Amino acid sequence: MSFWIIKHLPGLPLLFALWSGLLFAAPETEEAPLVIRYPVLSEDYGQTRDDYFSRVLALALDKAGEPYRLEPVTLSNFRESRSVMSVAKGVYDIHWMNTNPTREMVLRPIRIPLFKGLIGWRLLLLRQQDEDLLEGMSGLKPLKGLTAVQGHDWPDSQVLEANGLEVFRTPHWEGMFKMLYAGRVDYFPRSVLEIWDEQRTFEELDLVVDDHVVLYYPAAYYFFVRKDSHELAALIEKGLNVAIADGSFDRLLMTYFGDDIERANLSERRVIRLENPALTPSTPLEREELWYQP
């Protein structure tokens, strides 16, 4: 087509300009993924739980339907109390922690219990020579003459103490098992999700899992984000609710912990119920689908 035709035919320059724009316009860019940083431990202990939590996080984000990229931040070790400040300061964007009022005040909890409350179903680790210590036990009273060991800043320490039990607190995780072996404490309450792995980890100490009772108190591990991370919290909460509704949340939980839950035989144990003063009024206890029941 000659320049004269382009110049003198009415409307043709505009048409040509539009046509040229279609040919040479830059392609639309895809939406940038949401980058979410989370902590992982470099040591072996905790890897199973960390892997589970990261899988739950990925499941929730998949169900929410937004593009994302997870970036691990490797740590040599940490205490949950320190991790609260790490999230608040933006060292990483999200962490899974046992809830308490302080954590819910400093950070934004996503109030869906990631273990379905199983962190509050506690079996008791004992010395081998004490394996029948709790046989025939009913009620809380017999435990009040014994001493438990717990982490210095664990919410569980407060739960046990609030129910009148004697607790020796220590910041040294490995030391707790050694203290039990040495007889400095009488028992070590651990959740059904962790006690078997820990028994294997310290098999040289010949510790045993009590067969008779289970302590129970409502307890929740939540995802926590910064207070101002409204969109991230809403996205994860949406995805978790979808996963719970379609059954994929439960399937993932049982993939990781189904054998331990079955082995615990909770329905055949004597249940000793404790109050948990660390729960806030916002805990969704009324949502039965969020909590495990034997």
**268-283 burial string, b = 16+ CB within 10 Å, else e?**
ebeebebebebbeeeb
Cβ contact 158:277 at 8 Å: yes
Say how many C-beta atoms besides its own lie within 10 A of residue 59's C-beta: 18
3-state secondary structure of 134: coil
Structure-block tokens of residue 231:
């969109």
DSSP state at residue 124: E
Radius of gyration of the chain (CA): 26
Domain ranges of the chain: 34-117+220-265, 119-216
DSSP notation for 226-260: -TT-HHHHHHHHHHHHHHHHHTHHHHHHHHHHHHH
At the second CATH level, the architecture of 119-216 is 3-Layer(aba) Sandwich (3.40)
Cβ contact 41:50 at 8 Å: yes
Q: How would you write the pLDDT of the chain (294 residues) with one tens digit per residue?
A: 433 333 444 444 444 443 444 434 445 556 788 999 999 876 655 566 789 999 999 999 999 999 999 999 988 766 677 889 999 999 999 999 999 899 999 999 999 999 999 999 999 999 999 999 988 888 888 899 999 999 988 889 999 999 999 999 998 889 999 999 999 999 999 999 999 999 999 999 999 999 999 999 999 999 999 999 999 999 999 999 999 999 999 999 999 999 999 999 999 999 999 999 989 999 999 999 999 998
User: pTM of the predicted model, to two decimals?
Assistant: 0.84
For the chain, where are the alpha helices, taking DSSP H only? Answer: 3-8, 12-24, 47-64, 80-88, 101-106, 155-162, 173-182, 195-201, 230-246, 248-264
What is the C-alpha to C-alpha distance for residues 202 and 177, in angstroms, rounded to an integer? 8
What is the C-alpha to C-alpha distance for residues 149 and 177, in angstroms, rounded to an integer? 9
- 34-117+220-265 and 119-216 agree in CATH topology: yes
At the second CATH level, the architecture of 34-117+220-265 is 3-Layer(aba) Sandwich (3.40)
**128-158 burial string, b = 16+ CB within 10 Å, else e?**
eebeebbeeeeeeeebeeeebbbbebbbbbb
